[in-house]
Structure 1
Amino acid sequence: MAFFLPPLHVTSYQLAPQLYRVVGNISRAVDTEYFQFLLKTDDDCYLNTARIINELSQLQQDGLSERIWWGRFRHNWAVETHGKWSERDYTAPVYPKFACGAGYVISQDVVLWLASNADQLYAYQGEDVSMGIWLSAIHPYYIDDPFWQCDTDCISAMYAAPDFDPPELRQLWSYMEQCDDPCGCS
């Protein structure tokens, strides 16, 4: 069964109120829906959902379905002290690893942990780093996969890539439909 959280329209990278809404929506999903994994993405991202679903099926066949956090991760990322990414509340010099770019998948038990601890979770400067800080407490099984893009480089086998405007997304999908390659037909 698929469950889609309502989209959030965010105009700022200071995401504390939106994060609490996301966690609240996750809590409601936990109460009303059955699912095994939750995919988080942004509205400006290309997603190859068929590849993602196939890989999730393979993970389950391989016995990997608990404490999963699958995406592309930033490691030892310095905490910014100036600019739009400035973090005033997290005092360590680097963040715990966190997923970047176009999205990630977490397993049901991770979602349940987030939902059951929602009242205790502090929203830091950005959603991605907040998830990294929160989930470092439970030591998830990180699947660091380069096919979850952190930038707009086009890779034929990518699961996801961020930061596209609507015409660019339409072009990626047009290529995908025409020749099964979002990067273009040769």
Structure 2
Amino acid sequence: MALGRPCSWKRVFCLSAVLSFLFCCLFLLPNATHRERQASARFFAAWQGPSQRTHPVAAASAPGGVDFGPLFSGARSEPHCEPQQVLLILVTSAPGNAAPRQVIRKTWATQDRRQPYPWQAVFLIGQTTPEGSAWQVQQEQREFRDILVGNYLDTYRNLTLKVMHGLKWALERCRPSYVLKTDDDCFVNTEWLPEFLARRNAIKTGLYAGSLFPREKRQVIRHPSSKWYVSNQDYPPNEYPPYASGVGYILSLDAVRRIMQAAEHVRPIPVEDAYLGILAQRAGLRLQPSARFAKQNARWRLCNYRYLMVIHHLSAREQEAATQSVREARSACRETLEITQWK
């Protein structure tokens, strides 16, 4: 009987490669996955992102509501709040949206003189896993001191946590008379809004004002492929209560307090403005519908800028033009009942 041929060096090499691959799969890859999970675990998140949006994390909420503690854990330096402000503007933004933030700073958020009705704008941003983006946000915060960074992953599905963190911070640290929530693609009429709230607004308490969504647009979306998907487990009813569009809504300080109390007992959903409406209903607040909040941009006449408070979807050039228009409208347009009332 002939003996088997000696194993060639090629066979030895192939066998070694196979054994190395198996060792990597069994030992190294699980450790790498564990390290990745540990890294992402630094950030509090109810919904990890679109690919995992149907699986809420159990630690995302307290029994039945939002657990605010983790949102503030590991917080870096915060914006400074001047006392006795009429208005605090919370602007939701994303880590990579440095350009829109800079446009806002140079247009409607500019304060080049002492304000008779003090106000302030603060950007709300979450955590991001790429180190470069996080470093850029830190640099921007050190330079402008107008960014509030929360301990949650910055994803669209976590916008609810972003706004809850911002409102809680406003209530506990700033305590302005009113809070406006808006987005970084919106224009805010800071030439008129703080004065309107201080002098013209007749609703001093329990104020929740914005652009009302019609009933046919308040149906809960159940399709998992939609970014507005909400499961039956998270919210059983098929229709949301009346709520204001997230492009801009105003809350009085007492309304913020009541909404934060309700949030501790109401399960969060990943549709920020609808969740705010759910909390407002739970808190006994009734929405004040107002056409002063425009969900789309249009070719406005000059005197429209004496009336509008928030306009959605403006480019950098349009932000600059709108800022100039509101300044011209102050002297060019007469005060009418429309200008001095919510509707």
SS for the counterpart of 1:70 is strand
Greater RCO (CA < 8 Å, at least 6 residues apart): 1
Which consecutive residues of structure 1, in runs of 5 or more, have no partner in the other structure? 182-186
Aligned residue number for residue 173 of structure 1: 323
Distance 1:170 1:50, change over 3 A: closer
TM-score with structure 1 length normalisation?
0.79
Whole-Å separation in 1 of the counterparts to 2:170 and 2:219: 34
Deviation at 1:140, TM superposition (A): 1.2
Distance 1:96 1:146, change over 3 A: same
Aligned residue number for residue 47 of structure 1: 188
Aligned residue number for residue 74 of structure 1: 213
Question: Superposition RMSD on alpha carbons, in Å?
Answer: 2.5
Q: Which of 74, 82, 85 is the equivalent residue of 2:228? A: 85
| Aligned-pair identity (%) | 21
Q: Which amino acid aligns with 1:95?
A: Y
Q: Which amino acid aligns with 2:194?
A: I
Whole-Å separation in 2 of the counterparts to 1:158 and 1:130: 25
Establish whether residue 139 from structure 1 lines up as the match of residue 280 from structure 2.
no
Deviation at 1:153, TM superposition (A): 3.0
Q: Give the structure with the larger helix fraction.
A: 2
Deviation at 1:160, TM superposition (A): 0.8
Aligned residue number for residue 153 of structure 1: 298
Whole-Å separation in 2 of the counterparts to 1:175 and 1:111: 31
Deviation at 1:21, TM superposition (A): 4.1
Deviation at 1:81, TM superposition (A): 2.5
SS for the counterpart of 1:20 is helix
CA deviation digits over 1:104-146, x for unaligned, max 9?
A: 1111111112333443342212111110111111231321111
Q: Which of 229, 249, 253 is the equivalent residue of 1:104? A: 249
Whole-Å separation in 2 of the counterparts to 1:65 and 1:141: 13
Whole-Å separation in 1 of the counterparts to 2:212 and 2:273: 10
Deviation at 1:23, TM superposition (A): 2.4
Q: Which amino acid aligns with 1:150?
A: K
After TM superposition, the structure 1 stretch with the greater mean CA deviation from structure 2, 29-38 or 157-166, is 29-38
2:292 touches 2:310 (CA, 8 Å); kept in 1? yes
1:23 touches 1:114 (CA, 8 Å); kept in 2? no
SS for the counterpart of 1:14 is helix
Distance 1:170 1:131, change over 3 A: same
Distance 1:169 1:78, change over 3 A: same
Deviation at 1:147, TM superposition (A): 1.4
Aligned residue number for residue 184 of structure 1: none
Aligned residue number for residue 163 of structure 2: 22
Q: Which amino acid aligns with 2:205?
A: E
